[in-house]
């Protein structure tokens, strides 16, 4: 951080705060104007009018929307997202239970997509117009074109129902649920920490397919961008000079090209990670994964706006924060950005 001035860091942080506030405003307003009835979801459609009115007053829905917003901001300042209609628990408590499952799935997916997508993009660029380059481009095109839910359903039919190579929906089999005490919230890590290797392998069998399905779209994007960045660098003078000195094509890419595109890759990976946290919604529905996506879907079905708004804000904040970190890293690592900031 020594290379990034305090003023520049403060400016980027201010942009993050403003963006988050705009997200809060937009999400809250949308949550209030949608044609849903949170009061009816709580008291029931056949409730007495007096009970309905009392609940509406208790929720503050009889107040002007700007007052409702300020009350909501005050609650957020104290960590209060309201009470979930679906569970009757504080929304913050529900999110604390659901988020680790999404985080575990998205993290494994971004690891897979990075370790496959970056090398594939490098090789495709190095052997441009070869068979492997054409295969990489087809893989990327398919990943961008076919919906995730279709891949998920086909994957379950083939690898679970047909070949029985992976576990089915959920994080573990039913008879393993509740046997691991949550510590980090990440089932793979918690099961290892507690010596439950059988549960670990069962959980790994359940997560591997949705992780690969979720990673495929990100891998397609990472492959395409890595290939583009590498091709741009291969035409530069320093690469031509390195090749003239007898450096092998592989050595040129690893020793010269890869360090020069590292900054761009950081940005791409941050965007992909945020996208995976958002895109996990569809994957979680297909695989009955008990994460934020499944939680949001269940809440949306009954019009539980407290849960929907809170989950949207959390996911949006994470996406913005990852972009903020990528932006800061870009400014620190790229000399051109530092000069521009001055």
pLDDT in tens, 29-72: 877 776 666 676 667 667 777 877 887 787 777 778 888 888 88
Cβ pair 168, 156 in contact under 8 A: yes
Say if residue 281's pLDDT is above 70: yes
Q: For the domain 93-338, what is the CATH code?
A: 1.10.3720.10
| Sequence-separated (6 or more) residues with CB below 8 Å from residue 265 | 118, 225, 226, 229
Looking at residue 192, its pLDDT comes to: 92
Mean pLDDT of the chain: 82
Closest listed residue to residue 25, CA positions, set 341, 314, 335, 309: 309
Provide the whole-model pTM. Answer: 0.81
Per-domain residue ranges for the chain?
93-338
- Where is average pLDDT lowest: 196-200, 236-240, 300-304? 300-304
Distance CA 312, CA 297 (A): 11
């Amino acid at each position: 951080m020594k290379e990034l001035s305090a003023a520049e860091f403060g400016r980027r942080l201010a942009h993050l705060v403003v963006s988050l506030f705009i997200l809060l405003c937009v999400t809250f307003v949308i949550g209030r104007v949608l044609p849903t009835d949170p009061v009816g979801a709580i008291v029931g459609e056949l409730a007495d009018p007096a009970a309905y009115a009392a609940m509406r007053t208790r929720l503050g829905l009889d107040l002007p929307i700007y007052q409702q917003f300020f009350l909501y901001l005050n609650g957020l300042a104290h960590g209060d997202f309201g009470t979930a209609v679906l569970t009757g628990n504080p929304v913050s408590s529900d999110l604390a239970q659901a988020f680790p499952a999404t985080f575990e799935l998205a993290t494994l997916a971004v690891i897979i997509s990075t370790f496959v997508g970056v090398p594939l993009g490098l090789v495709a660029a190095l052997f441009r117009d070869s068979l492997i380059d054409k295969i990489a481009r087809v893989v990327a095109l398919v990943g961008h074109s076919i919906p995730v839910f279709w891949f998920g359903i086909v994957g379950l039919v083939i690898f679970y129902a047909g070949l029985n190579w992976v576990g089915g929906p959920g994080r573990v089999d039913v008879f393993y649920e509740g046997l691991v005490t949550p510590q980090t919230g990440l089932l793979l890590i918690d099961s290892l920490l507690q010596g439950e290797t059988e549960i670990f392998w069962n959980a790994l069998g359940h997560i591997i397919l949705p992780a690969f399905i979720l990673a495929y779209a990100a891998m397609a994007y990472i492959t395409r961008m890595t290939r583009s960045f590498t091709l741009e660098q291969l035409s530069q003078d320093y690469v031509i000079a390195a090749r003239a000195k007898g450096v092998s094509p592989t050595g040129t890419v690893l020793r010269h090209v890869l360090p020069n595109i590292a900054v761009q890759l950081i940005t791409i990976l941050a965007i992909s990670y945020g996208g995976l946290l958002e895109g996990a919604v569809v994957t979680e529905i297909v695989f009955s994964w008990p994460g934020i996506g499944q939680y949001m879907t269940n809440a949306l079905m009954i019009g539980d706006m407290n849960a929907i708004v809170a989950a949207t804000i959390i996911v949006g904040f994470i996406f913005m924060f990852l972009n903020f970190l990528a932006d800061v890293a870009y400014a620190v690592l790229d000399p051109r950005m530092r000069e521009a900031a001055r």
